[in-house]
Structure 1
Amino acid sequence: MATELIEESIDIDASPQKVWSIVSDLRTMGERSPQCKKMFIFGGDVKQGTRTLNINRRGPLVWPTNCKVVAFTPNQEIAWKIVENGTVWAYKITPKGDGVTLTESRTAANGETSKISSFLVDRAFGGNDNFEVELHAGMRETLGKIKRSAES
């Protein structure tokens, strides 16, 4: 069983608009994420309902996922649902002083993912506990890259 909510946060000395310009540019996700190497956007600009095809990589393993943007509030939140496993990935921007707190999360409703996803996590990723440790580390890496970009 997956942890229902995995999240990491970072404080960034930049405006919500600056941080939003980075996190909402899904075409550049591969520059920040250690696992999602490329997001192909369908239908022009990213907005609620936009669909993506993502290419993910972990070591020698490469796999595609399909997503749909399920939340899109400029300067506040963007989230997308992975079709193959039902998880939702999100970025939330919360103003804090002269900057923001940026939170990245992955939600697995009721701690459940698809049977194929659970099987692959167990067999290819060393089990759920190891995989979730890796997800936390990946979130921290991604948030750090966003922070450096927004503050430069």
Structure 2
Amino acid sequence: MPNTLETTVDISAAPERVWAVVSDLKRMPEFSPNTVRMVPLGTLGPGTWTVNLNRDGRRYYPTTSRIVRFEPNRTFAFRMNENATVWSFTLEPTESGTRLTERRDVPNGVRKPIRLLIDKFLGGEQQFESNLVHGMNETLGKIKTAAERS
């Protein structure tokens, strides 16, 4: 059974500055080692679709998603259409800036065909999730650097 995955980083920048970085989905390949391209189809907001190209090591795979939560300077989340996982970024103001949390939820489990693909081509669920957590930590570190620099 897939696990909820979550990573957090404290950033020395105001939530508005962090939001400007994290909500620019076209920049996601700059931050995420698993994202090659993320293209929103229209203005960002609830219901906006994205077309994505992802990778796991040398393996590439396309996905699509739909934004399911969008509250500027606070949170946004998108649901992956292929496996129904929900990825979110949540910003919390702190005394020194912003706490940013990236999370992957699996509210209804992963459908059997996707689980078979993960097992056959992506090293199995445990390895796949380990790679995702590593990527999430790398993503948050790069977002931190970009937000503190701007």
Q: Which moved more, 1:127-136 or 1:14-23?
A: 127-136
Question: Structure 1, unaligned stretches of length 5 or more?
Answer: none
1:131 lines up with 2:128 in the alignment: yes
- Cα distance in structure 1, aligned partners of 2:121 and 2:50: 24
- Cα distance in structure 2, aligned partners of 1:8 and 1:37: 21
- Cα distance in structure 1, aligned partners of 2:118 and 2:142: 26
Residue 29 of structure 1 deviates from its aligned partner by: 0.7
Which of the residues 117, 125, 133 maps onto 1:120? Answer: 117
Cα deviation digits, residues 39-77 of structure 1 (max 9, x gap): 11112x211111000001223321110100000000000
TM-score, reference length from structure 1: 0.94
- Cα distance in structure 1, aligned partners of 2:63 and 2:112: 15
Q: What does residue 69 of structure 1 align with?
A: 67
Q: What does residue 97 of structure 2 align with?
A: 99
- Cα distance in structure 2, aligned partners of 1:134 and 1:61: 13
Q: What does residue 2 of structure 1 align with?
A: 2
TM-score, reference length from structure 2: 0.96
Cα deviation digits, residues 90-140 of structure 1 (max 9, x gap): 000011112011000000015x11222211111111111111111110000
Which of the residues 117, 129, 149 maps onto 2:146? Answer: 149
- Cα distance in structure 2, aligned partners of 1:25 and 1:115: 32
Task: Give the secondary-structure state (helix, strand or coil) at the position aligned to 1:72.
Answer: strand
Percent identity between the aligned chains? 42
Question: Structure 2, unaligned stretches of length 5 or more?
Answer: none
Q: How many residues align?
A: 149
Aligned amino acid, residue 28 of structure 2: M
- Cα distance in structure 1, aligned partners of 2:40 and 2:139: 20
Q: What does residue 22 of structure 2 align with?
A: 23
1:85 lines up with 2:83 in the alignment: yes
RMSD: 1.0
- Cα distance in structure 1, aligned partners of 2:140 and 2:115: 26
- Cα distance in structure 2, aligned partners of 1:58 and 1:139: 13
Aligned amino acid, residue 116 of structure 1: P
Q: Which moved more, 1:53-62 or 1:72-81?
A: 53-62
Segments of 4+ in structure 1 off by > 3 A? none
